[in-house]
Structure formats: C-alpha cells, structure tokens
C-alpha cells in the first residue's frame, strides 16, 4: 500500500519521532483512542479507526509543518514553537515534558551573571531565543555605557549553533557558556556546568494550524486529548454535608466550573460531587471532614470530556 497516496483524505497530525516527548505522546494517543500501525521504515502511520494520518517528525520541525504546511495538529515543546517563530494556535498545555532553557557556565569558572558573557561565545541549539536574550542584555549594557559617557565600545555576543551534545561545548573549547534545555540537571552537572539564568520555561503543547483541514474531526480529537489530560489531573470527590455547611465546603471543592449538588431524602442534607486536583486530594478530604462533611469518597477518572 502506498501510504502517501492516502494523505489527502485524512487529517494530518504531527508527533515527535523520538526524544523526551515521544513515549508520553504515544500514551496520550492511546488514551484518545487513536489507533495506528507504524512500519519501522516509515515516519507516516495511518490510523485504523479514524481518518487520521500520524506524521512522525523531529520536535523542532513540527511548528513549521503545522504553521506552513498541510498538517492540522501537532505535539511539540513550547520552546520549539517560540524558537521557530511561526504562527500557530497553542490549543492546550499537555502537562508533561517540563524543562527550562538555561544559561549554563563552567561550575568553577569566573562567570556568575549572564551580563558577564556579553562579548563572549555562547553555543546553543536555540539560536533565535538565545540571540534575542543576549541582544536585550547588550542593549541594556549599551544604554548604561551611553548614560555613563563611557568611551567603551558596546560588545556583541557570538551565538553559535550546535545540534547535539551542547553541554560538551565549554569543555571542548568552543564556547564560554551554553544555552540548552535542562530537565533534571544531571547531564549539565556531569559536564561540570551550573545554571546562572533561566531564559524560558517549557512543556509539551498541542498546537493547531490557523487554516486546518477536517475541522470537525480536529475538534473531536482536541476534545479527546483535553479529556485525557483532565482525567490524569483530576479525581472525582463525592461527599454528603448539611445545607448549613454547604457554602463552606463548596469553597474547598469549587470544581473545574462548579460542583454538582443533589438533594438527599434527609431534607437538611445534600450530596456534592466535584472534580478535585489529584495532587490536592488528601488535603481536600481533611478540610471537608473538618467542615462536617461525611461519606467522603474519591473515584479515579479514566477518561472524560471537559
């Protein structure tokens, strides 16, 4: 079967082909019931239950294919969207892949402040964001020089591109500092580097074309993905309370929009059902009990539409 010949009739959805976001993207697609078979030789996979074609691309390329091509949806990092500088719609933060784009310098070196790197050499894979950052520092430095009537000539920082192993650049003598994505920081510490500034905080994001095809299907897929994200973030908390305590407990469990309140046969009591952030559930249950709530039950949400 010629997979490429079937693309015209399908919504194109780009996902990272490897890297830190890949496995979590596969789990997200599974939760959204997007089923597919991918050949090891192809970076295009046709979905078996929906008219969708998954296109596996480097995360850095996805904003361009979504913003300028026929790809309607994509998953990539917010850092890649900002670096590409291409107009796309950021539909929602997916809640995984959190990292920081940081300025890193030799741990035992002389640099403690990013301003000390003005006029020096910096290596990065994010040349646009890094250049913008250092040009701003240079402009501030130039303003200080002019206001102080100094005869010193403003310096320009050299920004060099390296596609991989950025953290080795200082040790190998091609940079005074690096700008790179940092997750745990272990790789940087192993390379003898330390962070002195955070330029950008990023996580995985669902992006959409401003001129998508198959708009109805796109809306369905976006709804499914938002539902999967919400199901992973929230639990359902049910409890009973007296009407006299209702105002107090609702402040504890306001829900995503509002709680569901149902009357009980005992006229002075109601049942309350509300979505609660999973990370806060123990604290919420304790507060509800202190306000007189009873029969407090928590249920996992396997999927939802929000």
pLDDT given for residue 3 in this prediction:
57
224: in domain? no
Residues 62, 74 contacting (CB under 8 angstroms): yes
Count structural domains, the chain: 3
* pLDDT band at 131; cut points 50, 70, 90: very high
Q: If you average pLDDT over residues 8-17, what whole number do you get? A: 93
Strands (E), the chain: 11-16, 36-37, 44-47, 52-57, 73-77, 89-93, 99-106, 121-124, 158-161, 177-182, 193-202, 204-208, 234-242, 260-263, 269-277, 294-300
Residues recorded for the chain: 306
Query: Is the CB of residue 7 less than 8 Å from the CB of residue 49?
Result: no
Provide the pLDDT for residue 46: 92
Residue 255 structural domain: 234-300
* pLDDT over 80 at 6, yes or no: no
pLDDT level of residue 154 (50, 70, 90 thresholds): low
pLDDT digits (tens, 9 = 90+) for 74-112: 999 999 999 999 999 999 999 999 999 999 999 998 999
> Residues 133, 83: one domain?
no
The verdict on 105 and 34 lying in the same domain is no
The sign of the CA dihedral 24, 25, 28, 33 is: negative
Spatial contact of 278 and 304, defined as CB atoms under 8 Å apart: no
Residue 146 pLDDT > 60: no
Q: Retrieve residue 218's tokens.
A: 């796109």
Mean pLDDT of the chain: 92
- At 17 the pLDDT is 92
Between 113 and 41, residue with greater pLDDT: 113
Do 173 and 296 belong to one domain?
no
Are residues 85 and 124 both part of a single domain?
no
């Amino acid at each position: 079967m010629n997979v490429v010949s079937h693309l015209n009739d399908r919504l194109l959805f780009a996902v990272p082909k490897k890297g830190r976001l890949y496995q979590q993207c596969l789990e997200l697609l599974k939760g959204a019931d997007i089923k597919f078979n991918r050949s090891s030789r192809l970076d295009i996979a046709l979905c078996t239950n929906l008219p969708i074609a998954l296109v596996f691309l480097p995360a850095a390329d996805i904003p361009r294919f979504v913003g300028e091509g026929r790809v309607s949806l994509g998953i990539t990092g917010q850092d890649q969207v900002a670096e590409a500088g291409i107009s796309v719609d950021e539909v929602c933060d997916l809640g995984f892949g959190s990292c920081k784009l940081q300025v890193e310098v030799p741990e035992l070196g002389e640099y403690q402040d990013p301003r000390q790197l003005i006029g020096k050499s910096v290596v990065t894979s994010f040349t646009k964001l890094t250049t913008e950052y250092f040009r701003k520092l240079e402009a501030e430095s130039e303003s200080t020089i002019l206001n102080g009537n100094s005869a010193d000539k403003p310096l320009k920082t050299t920004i060099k591109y390296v596609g991989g192993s950025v953290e080795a650049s200082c040790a190998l003598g091609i940079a005074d500092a690096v700008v790179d994505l940092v997750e745990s920081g272990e790789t940087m510490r192993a390379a003898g580097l330390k962070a002195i500034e955070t330029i950008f905080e990023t996580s995985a994001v669902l992006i959409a074309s401003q001129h998508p095809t198959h708009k109805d299907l796109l809306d369905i897929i976006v709804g499914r993905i938002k539902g999967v994200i919400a199901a992973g973030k929230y639990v359902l908390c049910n409890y009973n309370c007296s009407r006299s305590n209702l105002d107090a407990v609702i402040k504890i469990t306001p829900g995503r929009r509002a709680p569901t309140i149902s009357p009980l046969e005992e006229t002075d009591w109601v049942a309350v059902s509300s979505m609660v952030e999973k990370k806060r559930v123990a604290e919420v249950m304790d507060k509800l009990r202190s306000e007189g709530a009873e029969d407090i039950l928590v249920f996992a949400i396997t999927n939802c539409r929000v």
